[in-house]
Every structure is written in structure tokens, then in C-alpha cells.
Amino acid sequence: MALNLHVRVHPVVLFQIVDAYERRNADSHRVIGTLLGNVDKGIVEVINCFCVPHKETVDQVEAELNYAMDVHDLNRRVNSNESIVGWWATGHEVTNHSSVIHEYYARECNNPVHVTLDTSLQGGRMGLKAYVCVSLGVPNGKQGCMFTSIPIDVTCYDPEVFGLQLCQKTIGAGGGRSRNVHPMLDLAQVSEAGSKMGVMLDQVLQYVEDVLSGKTQANNAVGRALLDLINSVPHMSNEQFSEMFNSNVKDLLMVITLSQLIKTQLQLNEKLTLLTSV
Amino acid sequence: MASRGGASRRVPENDSTIAYVQADGLAVMKIVKHCHEESTTNMDIAQGALLGLVVENRLEITNCFPFPKQNDETMDEDEYQLAMMRRLRRVNVDHFHVGWYQSADVGNFLSLPLLESQFHYQTSIEESVVVIYDTQKSSRGFLTLKAYRLTPQAIEMYKEGEFTPEALLKLKVGYENLFTEVPFVIKNSALTNIMMSELAEMVPEEEGSKFLDLGTASVLEGQLRCLMDRVDELNQEAIKFNRYQQLVSRQQQDKHRYLQKRSQENAARAAKDEPPLPEEDITKLFRPHPVPPRLNPMIIAGQINTYSQAISQLCSQSLAKLYITQALQNAKETNANP
């Protein structure tokens, strides 16, 4: 079928896969599960997933398909727009058993995709790969199928990005030990974003200096992007800017005063109503 | 061992309380995804259950699942929950139900259904919490997840079911100590950290920069409008209470006058050697008015309190952003006129 499929995965799916792998039974080396999402014009968007218990021996594989159907039904009651788009497995290669499982999923949906997440950390990385099954062989002779890889990348809703950034702070320096992280207060986040922007500006300045002194080759695309950047800053005369600034600051200060006033009034109200015993 | 949340000034903590809530990245991301999808598709409140376990003095949340919407009649809600938990147990997920989560728009979560649900949860499961996810704020870039528990006094008050001012005074319950906030912490396992490092390379860099957005006026307007609605409601409740108080005081005066007339009459009759008038039951003549329950005004007051706190926070961070721009503009000016 269409080989120009492109898979987009949401971070929740990857979190779920890692968690399922960590909770696997002591005797299994691999975990598998179903991928849920929707397909649209050659782009498969994977939004959710769940784990399916299965047993694998050298020559046999069993997966609890009733369980898979049950959980899919339960899930559909909450997210009615998610359908089965494929299945996932941990591990770094596609085995013979995979084709059996893939066949089952081919019955459930049209052209399932198979995603693997390499939790065994081969080569020092946790590789994320996607495959579809392409049938090959002579039409009247032996038919087989082959897993070919398709491009896969990660996409997020906006709040997911922020959630991810917050969770990423647990990647502590020093051996990757897990640290605890609090959801931060607003001001701290603003200051952090500000310093991040400062760092990025430093990098850009460094690049410009290098180009000017001849250390790096000038790149036209980057130059054009820099020009866009400079032109996107709105030009305002000093008076206009201070006018806007002052009016905004006054508004905000007024709102702060009002809200503090409301809080004090609430406390007074509480005391007064409790005092009047009838 | 008092919880580090700010609102627990007068609450004595007993031994079995939770000092903080620790959530896995997985649970956090699932909550974010579910609440975000609900808010973009049909503006409903998203609710779900939290699963995990209690370890020493912290409540660990390791997984969660969403509830179907209320208007779905095909399966009973309890059945759905049981089915989900049974299925999750097959894949070795913790199946101890430790609480529930709810999405809220700009922090307007304090309502009677919430109190009732949390009351039921806390009486059946001692350590349960309700986690509130703020959709508006999180979409602007500040992920807001807060965990709350009912204070022991609030539980007492709810058990009694009486919300008269005297009962509230006796239990020392005000809108400030209905809920305590429990500190919220996110923790990830080592393998998850590895996965996130991989992810960091794959997620495009530009998407995480909404923090510095200067256009907060519309959000502020929305919040202020909600605040005004609530203040109006509180005003109505206050008017009701005042009316009741006036009625009661008028009734007291009437009673007093009646009694005086009675004693005068009796004195006159005694002077004329006639038998005194029979004593009549005062309460039958002047039926006491029903006391309006104070629960609603208290909830509204608590809600207004959270609103005003949120608004002050929003204003302070907008101020910070404005000052940053001012610094940039000054730098530009000094560079333009050397």
C-alpha cells in the first residue's frame, strides 16, 4: 500500500511504553501493545497506546486479544475519535513473532504501522523506529512480507510541550539520577525563559562575530533569517514605548490592588458573619 | 509534620496525613493530554481517576485513566472503573485508587459537586487527593497542577450536614480552611529520563517559547469577568443573609412586645383579682425562620479567594515581562544614540 506514510508520535505514547516495559513480568523480555490514533492523508498520528499482555517462547507467541479488544472498547468510550492504527513493541529488532502479531493487527485495521522503542539501549541510544509490512514475492509463488521502515517523528500539543519541559528537569546532572521537580511558580518560569532567550541571543551574536571576522562561512539562509529577526522587532519611538509601558504597568498595578482589596474584604466578611450569632 | 502548602494555618495534622504528592511523568502527561483534548473539543470538564500507592508520608501517583462523559448511558460508571482497574492490574499497574483529577478553567474548581466527591473519596480512602489541572494557564505556558485535600474540620462539617452559622463557628470552619494544598512533585525513573533525552532532540525547539508572550490582556479580562460574576453571587447571598437577620430581629422585637403586653395584662388582672391568661406557647405564635445555609457563600468566597490569588500572580508575571521589554528598549536606545 502507500509507502509514503509518515508517523507522528505524541510523547504520552513513549512514556506509556517505557512504563509498561518497566512493569513487565519478570520472565518477559519484550512488551507489546496497541497504538491508537488516526490516519489522515498519509500521516499517521499516534495519540495514545496501551499494553497487551503476551507470552513469547522460542517458537510460539500468544497475545491476549480479548484483553486488547476490551481495553480498546473501554478507551473508545472516553476518546471516541481514536482508532487502532498499529502496534508497538520494545526491543531493537523485528523478530519472526512480530509478523504473526502484525497479521492479527492487519485484521483490525487497514495497514497497521509497527513502532519499536529500543529499551535495551543498543548502541547507547533508545532508538525509535516505525515500520509497515510490505508484501513481496512472486504473484503465483511464495508470498512473504517484509518490514520496511518509514519516517517517524514526535509531535505535541502545546501544553504537552510545557509538561515535557517540566518533566525534563528531572534529568539531573551526574549519572542521570532522578531528581524531584516542583511545578514552578510563574515568575520563576518567566525568568528562566528570559535567561534561555539570553543564551540563544548570545549564540546568534557569536555566530555573527565569527562570520564578520571570517572564521565561519557566511550562509545566505541564516543571513536572511537574521534579517527577518531584526525586522520583526517593532520600531517604536521612545515616547510611544514609554506611553504604552506606563499605561500597561498602571493597569496591572490597579488590578493587583483590586484583587488584594477583594481578599481583605472577604476576610472581613467572614469574620463579621461568624460574629453575628442569632 | 505540617504540610508546606500555604493555607494550613490552623490545621493540626494527624499522623496518617500526606506530606506531599509525587507523580510520575506518565501520569502528568496523561492528565495534560486528556484535559487538553476535552477543552479543545467540547469545553467540558475532564475528570479521571488517579492510581498509585501510599509510601510513608507521600502519595505516589503512578498512573491514571480518564472517566467517560456523564451522558453516556451504555455502561455504569462504577462498572467502567472496575473494568479499567482490572485490565490495568493484568499489566502490573498499581491498582490502588488514590484520588481523582479534574480540569478547571482558570481555577474555578471550587463547587458543591467537588466538595461532595472529595468528601466521599476521603471518607472511603484516607489519603486521597484531588488534582486540579488549569487548562487556561497551561496552554499559555505555565503548567499548573495542584493537589488538594479537605481539612479535618471540613470533613466534620460535612458529616454533620448542618451549615448554620453556629455550627460553622463551633467547628471553626471558614472559606480559608476548606482545602489544604499539598505540595506536588514530579519524579521520573532513569529509563524515562533516557527516553526524554532522546525526545528532546526530536521535539522542535521553537515550540516552547510562549512564556514571554506579552499579550496577556485578554486572559486578564476573562479572569476579571469570572471574578465579577462570583462577586455578584456572593452579594446575592449576603443580601439573603441580611434579610434573614432583619426578619429575625424584627421577630425578636415582636416577641418581646408580646411578652410585655402579656405581663402587663396579667398584672392588671391580678389587680382586679381575675385569673391570669393562660400561658401560650411562644414558639407556636412566632415560628422561627429557617436559617439560610452558609455553605454556598463559603464556597463562593473560597472561589473568589483563589481567583484573586491567580489574578495577582498573572499580573506580577506580566509586570516582569513588561520590565524585560523596557530593559531591551533602553538598550536599543542607548545603542542608537551613542
Per-residue pLDDT tens over the stretch B128-180: 888 888 777 766 666 777 888 877 777 777 777 666 666 666 666 667 777 77
Mean per-residue pLDDT for B99-109? 76
Q: Which residues in B lie closer than 8 A to residue A237 (C-beta atoms)?
A: none
E runs forming strands in B108-252: 129-134, 145-150, 179-182, 184-187
Range of lowest pLDDT (A252-261, B70-79, B301-310): B70-79
- Contact check, Cβ <8 Å, B294/A260: no
Query: Cα angle vertex A61, ends A57, A62, to 5°?
Result: 120
E runs forming strands in chain B: 20-24, 47-55, 58-66, 97-104, 129-134, 145-150, 179-182, 184-187
Over the stretch B269-294, which tens digit does the pLDDT of each residue have? 888 877 766 666 666 666 777 777 77
Mean per-residue pLDDT for B13-32? 74
- Contact check, Cβ <8 Å, A252/B318: yes
Q: pLDDT grade, residue B209 (50/70/90)?
A: low
- Work out whether the CA dihedral B310, B312, B315, B319 comes out positive or negative: negative
Q: Which residues in B lie closer than 8 A to residue A16 (C-beta atoms)?
A: 26, 30
Of residues A197, A267, A278, nearest to B212 (C-beta) = A197
> Around A126, how many Cα atoms within 13 Å sit in the side-chain half-sphere?
22
- Contact check, Cβ <8 Å, A125/B198: yes
The Cα of B271 is separated from the nearest Cα of chain A by a number of Å equal to: 37
Q: Which chain B residue lies closest to A177 (C-alpha atoms)? A: B190
Give the pLDDT of residue B58. 81
Give the pLDDT of residue B238. 80
What is the distance between the alpha carbons of residues A146 and A128, in angstroms, rounded to a whole number?
A: 18
Bridge-based pairing state of the strands B97-104 and B58-66: unpaired
Q: Which chain B residue lies closest to A23 (C-alpha atoms)? A: B92
Give the pLDDT of residue B212. 63
Cα separations (Å) of B266 from B254, B273, B275? 18, 10, 8
Task: Please provide the average confidence, as pLDDT, over all residues in chain B.
Answer: 74
| Phi, psi (rounded to 5 degrees) for A133 | -100, 125
Grid cell, residue B165, equals 452559622
Length of chain A: 278
Cα separations (Å) of A243 from A236, A249, B65, B122, B337? 11, 10, 50, 53, 20
Q: Which of A6, A19, A168 to mutate to test the interface with B (most CBs of B within 10 A)?
A: A19
Q: Looking at the predicted structure, is the pLDDT value of residue B86 above 70?
A: yes
Grid cell, residue B94, equals 498499581
Say which residue, B337 or A89, is predicted with more confidence: A89
- Contact check, Cβ <8 Å, A273/B90: no
Q: Looking at the predicted structure, is the pLDDT value of residue B336 above 80?
A: no
Cα separations (Å) of A215 from A36, A220, B265? 50, 16, 113
Q: Which residues in B lie closer than 8 A to residue A163 (C-beta atoms)?
A: 28-29, 32, 138, 143
| Beta-carbon contacts below 8 Å between A and B | 266
Say which residue, B64 or B73, is predicted with more confidence: B64
Of residues A170, A255, A278, nearest to B186 (C-beta) = A170
Range of lowest pLDDT (A108-117, B253-262, B272-281, B300-309): B272-281
- Contact check, Cβ <8 Å, A119/B32: no
Q: Which chain A residue lies closest to B312 (C-alpha atoms)? A: A256
3-state secondary structure A204-250: HHHHHHHHHHCCCCCCHHHHHHHHHHHHHCCCCCHHHHHHHHHHHHH
Chain A contact for B83, CB < 8 A? yes
Give the pLDDT of residue A1. 46
Q: Which residues in B lie closer than 8 A to residue A253 (C-beta atoms)?
A: 315, 319
- Contact check, Cβ <8 Å, B66/A263: no
Those residues of chain A that have pLDDT short of 50 are 1, 172-179, 278
- Contact check, Cβ <8 Å, B33/A51: no
Under DSSP, is residue B67 helix (H, G, I), strand (E, B) or coil? coil
DSSP B74: S
What is the distance between the alpha carbons of residues A203 and A194, in angstroms, rounded to a whole number?
A: 14
Q: Among A56, A46, A130, which Cα is nearest to A94's? A: A130
Q: Answer whether 0.95 is exceeded by the pTM.
A: no
List A35's β-bridge partners, or say none.
Answer: A49, A86
- Contact check, Cβ <8 Å, B316/A256: yes
Range of lowest pLDDT (A4-18, B74-88, B117-131, B305-319): B74-88
Judge whether B108 and B229 are in contact, CB under 8 Å. Answer: no
The H or E element that residue B252 is part of is: helix B217-271
Query: Cα angle vertex B118, ends B112, B119, to 5°?
Result: 85
Q: pLDDT grade, residue B74 (50/70/90)?
A: low
Q: What is the dihedral of CA B289, B295, B296, B302, to 10 degrees?
A: 140
Q: Looking at the predicted structure, is the pLDDT value of residue B6 above 70?
A: no
| Phi, psi (rounded to 5 degrees) for B274 | -105, 155
Judge whether B320 and B191 are in contact, CB under 8 Å. Answer: no
- Contact check, Cβ <8 Å, B305/A263: yes
Under DSSP, is residue B331 helix (H, G, I), strand (E, B) or coil? helix
Could you identify the residue written with the cell 381575675? B274
Say which residue, B2 or B221, is predicted with more confidence: B221
